[in-house]
Amino acid sequence: MPYDFFVAPFAEFEFMRRALAGALALALGAGPIGVFLMLRRMSLVGDAMAHAILPGAAVGFLLSGLNLFAMTAGGLIAGFVVALLTGLVARATELKEDAALATFYLLSLALGVTIVSVKGTNVDLLHVLFGNVLALDDQTLLLIAANASISLLVLALIYRPLVLECVDPGFMRSVSRAGGPAHLAFLALVVINLVSGFHALGTLLAVGIMMLPAAIGRFWARDITLMIAIATASGIAAGHVGVASGPAIILVAGALYVISLLFGRVGGLLRQLFPGRHLEA
């Protein structure tokens, strides 16, 4: 029975192996990014940016159909433009950054859905919104793998300033000016991984492979490195079990999150209801 569920589909069908490879690459790239989004209290920023890439991908679709390069380039451009406009509005007006981002992401979502609806069919709209992990081709797999590799490499280079900013941002600003460039590089990694997730999971679910594994890791570890390892492993497990579709991957990750919420040793509900006995002198 375990063989029929976990091994046989991937041994028999090439499209299942492609889907599994794409899901594993997404987990490797997005898991660590999600942990830092959570620690920096930017979880909703990830969700907003996932919606922000939609109009760019939709314009690419309008010009070239379901063309990988056009939709990827459009998504990247749209993501960076929304991030830039959000920063400019927050600094030039009294509107806070979260409110500015919410405004732009709602406009982006509405614009993207409208563009796809005008030219495409309901099937095209569903493909853009929810992706199709079972239809990944060689080019898309290479793109996802390349983005994951770039993410891990850049994250390794900016790991120290990111950790310092999460732990003590005031100290980081007093000893180094690397915080600003590291933050910009981190935002670029967020957009890159959301574009990767968009091709497999769609714009609505792409952020799920980032944030759900990160939340799972938070319930099992306090150490950032261990948290990243658990988040990545959770994303890989969700991708393997739920690879039949994008929503299934997110649902499996959601089930792992509920288990962690109940039984996690760092803030899990049962641990809080029944704390262990403290040693007494």
**How does pLDDT run across 165-201, given as a tens digit for each residue?**
887 777 777 777 777 788 888 888 988 998 888 888 8
pLDDT score of 155: 93
The radius of gyration of the chain's CA atoms, rounded to the nearest angstrom, is 20
The DSSP call for residue 134 is G
| pLDDT-derived band at 253, boundaries 50, 70, 90 | very high
Q: Answer yes or no: is pLDDT of 39 > 70.
A: yes
Q: Answer yes or no: is pLDDT of 95 > 80.
A: no
Find the mean pLDDT for residues 77-83: 83
Residue range 7-22, pLDDT digits in tens: 777 777 787 888 888 8
pLDDT score of 268: 87
Taking the C-alpha atoms of residue 124 and residue 74, their distance in angstroms, rounded to an integer, is 16
pLDDT score of 230: 95
Q: Answer yes or no: is pLDDT of 5 > 70.
A: no
pLDDT score of 86: 77
Taking the C-alpha atoms of residue 31 and residue 45, their distance in angstroms, rounded to an integer, is 16
Find the mean pLDDT for residues 261-271: 89
The highest-confidence range among 49-53, 126-130, 150-154, by mean pLDDT, is: 150-154
Q: Answer yes or no: is pLDDT of 217 > 90.
A: yes
Q: Nearest to residue 141, comparing CAs of 239, 20, 6, 237?
A: 20
Confirm if 210 and 238 have CB atoms less than 8 A apart. no
